[in-house]
Each structure stands twice: as C-alpha cells, then as structure tokens.
Amino acid sequence: MTNTLTVKDLSVSYDTRTGALQALRNVSIDVPAGEIVGVVGESGCGKSTLIGALLSLLSENAHVVGGEIRLAGEDILRASPRRLQAIRGNEMSVVFQDPMTSLNPVLSIGRQMRDIQYRERISDAEKSRRAAAMLGRVGLPDPEAKLHAYPHELSGGMRQRVAIAMAALMEPKLLIADEPTTALDATLEVQIIELLKEIQREIGCAILFISHHLGVIAELCDRMVVMYAGEAVEEGPVAEVFQRPAHPYTAKLIECDPGRLHERVEALPAIPGSLPDLTDPPAGCIFRDRCDMATEICAREAPPRVTVTPGRWSACHHAKAVRP
Amino acid sequence: MTSDALLELKDVTVEFPGVRGLRALTAPPEARRVQAVSGISLRVEHGETLALVGESGSGKTTLARAINGLVPLARGEVWFDGQPLHARPDWHAVRRRVAMMFQDPVGSLSPRKTVRELILEPFAIHGVRVKDRKTRARDLLAAAGLGPDFLDRYPHQLSGGQARRVGVARALALDPALVLADEPTAGLDVSIQGEILNLMNRVKREHGLTTLIITHNLNILRHIADRVAVMYLGRIVEIGPVEQLLSTPAHPYTRALMAANPEPDPTARRERIVLGGETPALSARPPGCEFHPRCPVARPDCATCPPALAPARTGGEVSCHYPLGSDERIGA
C-alpha cells in the first residue's frame, strides 16, 4: 500500500531561554492512502508541533533538527516556499479546533470560499457555485444563502462544517484534523465525526486526526499513533491497540478513561507524576518515571521499536509483557 | 423551609437582555429579555452530590452563579440551610459557607499571588484570624495533595492539575457546607482527571460536603454524582439517580446525550441516535416541548403543548409527554 504521508524520524526543537526544548524526537508516522490515522496524546506530547511541521508553519524559534516528511513521495521539508503554498490547501489542508478563530470574521463565507480557489482559472460565479455545492455536501441547509453569511451568524457546529467544507473543497490528498470536535458539544461531536467519515469516503483522501480523546479515536480511526512527551510510543490498528496495548503508557491512558468503567469505582485510576523537562529529557525511556514496569535497562537505554505483530510496534523494552 | 434539604430552588429564573442599544427600543417585548435559566426547581439533600449536565448554553453555569448571588434572580426562591438567598442576604456571610470552584483553574487564580497567599486569601477576605499561617497553608495544601514546596510558586508555574488542586484547597479553606464546582475536569488530561475526582470524592466524604457539580463530561458522572439533572435551554428535562439516568433514560434528549458520548472501545462502535440540528437560540424557543424539533420520537401534540416535570415510571422526574419506555401519554 502506498502512503499518502510518511513522517520519518522527525525531530523539532524550540529555542528557549533555558535551552533547546526538544518538542519532537524521532517521530515516525505513516498515513496510508485512504485511511484515517489518529494521533492521540495529552498536553505537551507534541501534537501541535507535529501539525506545524507538516504544514511548514512552525513558529520562528522552532527548528527541524532532523528527519523527513513526505507527502505522496514529495519532500515537504525541502520544498520551496512557492511550492509549499501550492501544496497547502490544495494537496494538504487542515481543520482547526476552533472555527471561530480559523475563519475570518469580517469576510462572508462565500468570499472566503472563493478566495481559497485563487489558483483555479474559473469565473467567480463558478467558484461560488462550487462553494455552495460543497456547503451542501457538508450538510449546511440553504447553502446559496449561507454564502452571504458571516461566521458570527452561524452556530458553532455550522462553523465547523464550513471549516470542513473549506478544507475538502480542493479535494486534498491529506486532510489534517486538529481536535476538530473538542470545542463542540457531545451531540454535535457525533455529527462532525459522521461528517468526516462521509467526506473521507466521498473524496477518498487520507485523514490525520489529532485528538486527546480516546473515545473519538476509537470511533473514527483505522490506525492510531500514541504520543508521549514528544515521542511516538506505539502505533497500530485501532482495534488491536485498544484491545492489547503494547506500551505501558497506552495501557494506562486507556485505563484512565472513565468512559470504559461501567461500574462506579471508589478510586478512579490516574497516572501519577508529570511530564519530564523537555529541555533536558532523561536518558533511557521517556516514560520510565511514571511507569510501574520500569527496570534498570529503562534508565540506561532508549527503548527500540519492537514489532509486536506485523504493522504494529511499540517503543518499550517490555513491549511483549504489557498487559491491558 | 420544611425539609432537610441543604439547598432548595423554587422556580428560579434568570434573565439577560436579549438585544442591546437602539434595537432594544424597536424589538418586540418578548425578544428584549431572554431566560438563560427558566423556572428551575430542585433540592439538594445534605451530603449529596448533584450533577448538572447539558450542552453549552443550557444554563448550567448561570444557575450556579445565581445560587451564589453572582447574577440576580428575575424570579423564584433559593433556600440555603433554611436561609432565603433570594431576599438580599448578607452575601459575605453566605459565601463563607457556599464555596465556588471556577471553571478555568489557572485563570481563576491571581497571577501575582503565590500559592501560599492564594490559599490564605479566603481567611483574609472573611476576617478569620489564623494562628499559625504557615501550618494552616501547608495542611490545606496537603489535603489537596500538594507538597509544601508548592507554597512559594506562582500560578504560571503550576500545571492545570496542580492549579485545580489549589482551587480545591481554596474552596475548602473555610470549611464550607456547600461547594459549587463548575466543570472540575475541564482542560485536564485524562491521566490527571482521575486524581482530581478522587480528591473531590475524598474531601466530600471527610468533610460531609454537599456538592453541586456542573459538567459536560458524561464519562465521570457515574463516579462522582448521586443524582443528575439534565438541562436543555435553561430548563431541567430530566432529573434522577445517576445509574437510572445512565441505564434507562426517560427523556429522548437524555438518551441522545448519553449515546452521543464516544466510548474508548472500537468494538463498541454502534448505531447511534444522531440528533439533527442544534440547540435553538434562547431568543427563539420552539413552542410546545422545546426539544420537539430535534426529537426523534416527537408526535404532533409535542409541537403545541409544553410538558411539565412529572414523576417518571423509571424513578426520578421527566419533562416529556411520551417518555421512553412507556406508550401512554403522560398527564393527558
């Protein structure tokens, strides 16, 4: 199978007053064509840095220290600014968390949707027609009239539908969804998940879905990557990872989600401790301070990627011994 | 007050201006004010934890703020421990016994005060003399699960979970009878969420606290609440024991809300009742049952006749003409 996106050994650091903060360290992620891959991790795991690197939109104090990013074979990190501009929005587009801040508040929806078709040599009327057709496809009632609406006139769920319509308009190869349901209520979250599934089927793109919400990942994705403190610690098909996690962090994370407990418990599980200082990451395994399986080797050597089953790996010295 | 409920609300209504400025002059009278909380009656017994759930704009936070006098009541009564809070009480004295935990853990702490000052602030505000400030601050912090090395830190040096713990310590400082906790898990990672909820459960047990928890996190309900009230457009549509609401909801909205909650289990991908549309604006409340335009089981009379909260067959109370699990129209 060909990969729409290949991230290989990507490392990104930020310059800070206290030294280089190593936000991503040797992260590898494959997104096969036509699949939905979830990236799950908690605050500080490097999700946002990853998106910044994919879109070449990192802040000024960030450096790509090493690794490569390929979109359908093309090396993104070495692409010219001009080429990048052609890629963004056309071949790779993104839906952000909060549609109120990603849409321009002073331009109508129609104007914004015509603007993003600036590369197309078609008339404005034709651009509007396409825009309205896409708005209809994402389930906006009365799409022609909505072209004249401004973002504040739409509800939160509708705004996110507009953002998805804009991302899907050019039928990109890769759609990046950055916590697209986090700002929405539960009943709208379901609607947006269903919509993303539909869009994926219709335009056949691959989706990289970034979330901290295990439930949403389980619901939507084919494969998943678990990140912790700037490293990818486990990757595999969603069903297998949830059933038999092969990294202690994954196992703990799933255990902590109260959604899986169907009986009332006196003490809810948690992961004691906190993230390590990424300006000076500890030697050995990044998770060992919070891991109850850690042994002496974990403090000494960084764990290799252990293939658990074909297409599935875990970065843990004790991968085969992890129990759900 | 006749019962032994610690908190009792009767027909509590909170209004906000619907349109502002010149447009208010020409707007029809009913559009000038919107009811964010509309005729809510409920009781919270001593030692009980009641959870208010509902989506954004359903009035959960406004209700908590109305109880604590942070927004004025348009109508209705609030009784706290036999004392009428709707009749211009001495709020200063009331708030000594009714503590509030605010939604944003870092934002609700002054960035210019250290944790020590923040924890001792309630004593200063209420003029309570503390003999040994150092020990007191350390004890309160320890009760919230933080070591003494946090005393001299500033809020920006705390993680979300640590800031939340400071919030818990502050709320408990004056040994309140009632705690109003607004979204205690908002913005917390799942790996820390458990610690905070365990902490709240523990202090509740140890101090015999009565708690009103506002949350949209349905996953935690079972573990923290005794009873749950589901709100929609500023009204309670269903209220009852937590297990009953989770297993046999009587209101179609409760069922949709519980079913909309994605489970962290790929094998549980199931057919869900995807609710169409979105919550209407408060200024455009639908006639009849306000949920009927989105309701999968609405019948013609739902559009004309508003239901009232009535005892449900499954226990608890529900505001629906045709509650789930019964074919007969209620109150016909």
The rounded distance, in Å, linking the Cα atoms of B40 and B152 is 43
CB spacing of A186 vs B220 below 8 angstroms: no
CB spacing of A271 vs B192 below 8 angstroms: yes
Q: What is the pLDDT of residue A11?
A: 97
The rounded distance, in Å, linking the Cα atoms of A290 and A292 is 7
- HEC profile for A62-98? EEEEEEEEEECCEECCCCCHHHHHHHECCCEEEECCC
**Residue B228 and residue B242 in contact, taking contact as beta carbons nearer than 8 Å:** yes
Q: What is the pLDDT of residue B107?
A: 86
- Residue-wise pLDDT tens digits, B84-124: 999 999 999 999 999 999 888 888 899 999 999 999 999 99
Of A26, A67, A78, A76, nearest to A233 by C-alpha is A26
- Write the residue in B257, B263, B268 that is nearest to A187 by C-beta: B257
- Residue-wise pLDDT tens digits, B118-137: 999 999 999 888 888 889 99
**Residue B230 and residue B253 in contact, taking contact as beta carbons nearer than 8 Å:** yes
Note the residue count of chain A.
324
**Interface probe with B: pick from A187, A250, A261, most Cβ of B within 10 Å:** A187
The rounded distance, in Å, linking the Cα atoms of A288 and A316 is 10
Kindly state the percentage of chain B with pLDDT values over 90. 58
Q: What is the pLDDT of residue B34?
A: 87
- Residue-wise pLDDT tens digits, A155-171: 888 899 999 999 999 99
Q: Where are the alpha helices (DSSP H) in chain A?
A: 47-54, 81-87, 99-102, 109-115, 124-137, 143-146, 156-168, 186-203, 214-220, 238-243, 248-256, 296-300
CB spacing of A268 vs B193 below 8 angstroms: yes
User: In which order are the strands placed within the sheet that holds A174-178?
Assistant: A92-95, A174-178, A206-211, A36-40, A223-228, A231-237, A312-315, A305-309
Lowest model confidence (mean pLDDT) among A189-193, B31-35, B171-175? B31-35
CB spacing of A270 vs B274 below 8 angstroms: no
Give mean pLDDT, residues B283-291: 91
**From the CA of B225, how many Å to the nearest CA of chain A?**
10
User: In which order are the strands placed within the sheet that holds B83-84?
Assistant: B33-45, B5-17, B75-80, B83-84
The residues that bridge with A314 in the sheet, in sequence order, are A234, A306
What are the distances in angstroms from CA B62 to CA B37, B52, B90, B108?
7, 11, 20, 17
For A13, the 3-state DSSP assignment is strand
Residue B23 has a CB neighbour count (10 Å cut-off) of 11
pTM of the model: 0.86
Q: Is the pLDDT of residue B332 over 60?
A: no
| Partners of residue B194 in chain A, C-beta under 8 Å | 256, 258, 267-270
CB spacing of A191 vs B274 below 8 angstroms: yes
**Residue A214 and residue A201 in contact, taking contact as beta carbons nearer than 8 Å:** no
Residue-wise burial string across B286-306, b where 16 or more C-beta atoms lie within 10 A, e elsewhere: eebbbbbebbeebeeebeebe
Q: Is the pLDDT of residue B218 over 90?
A: no
Residue A86 has a CB neighbour count (10 Å cut-off) of 13
- Write the residue in A187, A264, A268 that is nearest to B55 by C-beta: A187
CB spacing of A268 vs B278 below 8 angstroms: no
Q: What is the pLDDT of residue B1?
A: 42
Q: Is the pLDDT of residue B220 over 70?
A: yes
CB spacing of A194 vs B265 below 8 angstroms: no
**From the CA of B312, how many Å to the nearest CA of chain A?**
23
CB pairs under 8 A between A and B: 126
**What confidence tier does B166 reach under pLDDT thresholds 50, 70, 90?**
very high
Q: What is the pLDDT of residue A304?
A: 94
A80's CB contacts (< 8 A; 6+ apart) are none
- Residue-wise pLDDT tens digits, B243-286: 999 989 999 999 998 888 787 887 776 556 678 788 888 888 99
- Write the residue in A156, A269, A274 that is nearest to B194 by C-beta: A269
Write down the domain spans for chain A.
Answer: 3-91+172-192+202-321, 105-169
| The architecture CATH gives domain A3-91+172-192+202-321 | 3-Layer(aba) Sandwich (3.40)
ipTM score: 0.80
The rounded distance, in Å, linking the Cα atoms of B289 and B238 is 13
Mean pLDDT of chain A: 92
Report which DSSP code applies to A266: S
The rounded distance, in Å, linking the Cα atoms of B55 and B61 is 11
CB spacing of B189 vs A186 below 8 angstroms: no
Q: What is the pLDDT of residue B328?
A: 64
- HEC profile for chain B? CCCCEEEEEEEEEEEEECCCCCHHHHCCHHHHEEEEEEEEEEEEECCCEEEEECCCCCCHHHHHHHHCCCCCCCEEEEEECCEECCCCCCHHHHHHHEEEECCCCCCCCCCCCCHHHHHHHHHHHCCCCCCCHHHHHHHHHHHCCCCHHHCCCCHHHCCHHHHHHHHHHHHHCCCCCEEEEECCCCCCCHHHHHHHHHHHHHHHHHHCCEEEEEECCHHHHHHHCCEEEEEECCEEEEEEEHHHHHHCCCCHHHHHHHHCCCCCCHHHCCCCCCCCCCCCCHHHCCCCCCCHHHCCCCCHHHHCCCCCCEECCCCCEECCCCCCCCCCCCCC
Of B241, B282, B276, B240, nearest to B256 by C-alpha is B276
pLDDT tens, residue order, chain A (324 aa): 689 999 999 999 999 998 999 999 999 999 999 999 999 998 889 998 999 999 999 999 999 999 999 999 999 999 999 999 999 989 999 999 888 888 999 999 999 999 999 989 999 999 999 999 999 999 888 899 999 999 988 888 889 999 999 999 999 999 999 999 887 888 888 888 999 999 999 999 999 999 988 989 999 999 999 999 999 999 999 999 999 999 999 999 999 988 888 888 888 898 988 888 899 999 999 999 999 999 999 999 999 999 999 989 999 999 988 877
Q: What is the pLDDT of residue B2?
A: 47
Q: Is the pLDDT of residue B50 over 80?
A: yes
| Partners of residue A268 in chain B, C-beta under 8 Å | 193-195, 197-198, 220, 223
